[in-house]
Amino acid sequence: MTTTKMTKEQEEGFERYMECVRGLDEDQVSRLAGREYETVQEMYEELKKEMLIKHERDQKRIAELKQQIAAKNEELARKEALKKELESQILLEKAEAERLASHCMKAAK
> Which residue type, as a one-letter code, is found at position 88?
S
Q: Is 65 left (phi over 0), alpha (psi -120 to 50) or beta?
A: alpha
pLDDT for 74-101, tens place per residue? 999 999 999 999 999 999 999 999 998 8
User: Would you tell me the crossing angle of helices 26-108 and 8-21 to the nearest 10 degrees?
Assistant: 150
Q: How confident is the model at residue 2 (pLDDT cuts 50, 70, 90)?
A: low
DSSP state of 30: H
Rg of the chain, C-alpha, whole Å:
38
3-state helix, strand, coil in the chain (%, to 5): 90, 0, 10
pLDDT for 58-77, tens place per residue? 999 999 999 999 999 999 99
The full length of the chain comes to: 109
pTM confidence score:
0.52
> Which residue type, as a one-letter code, is found at position 11?
E
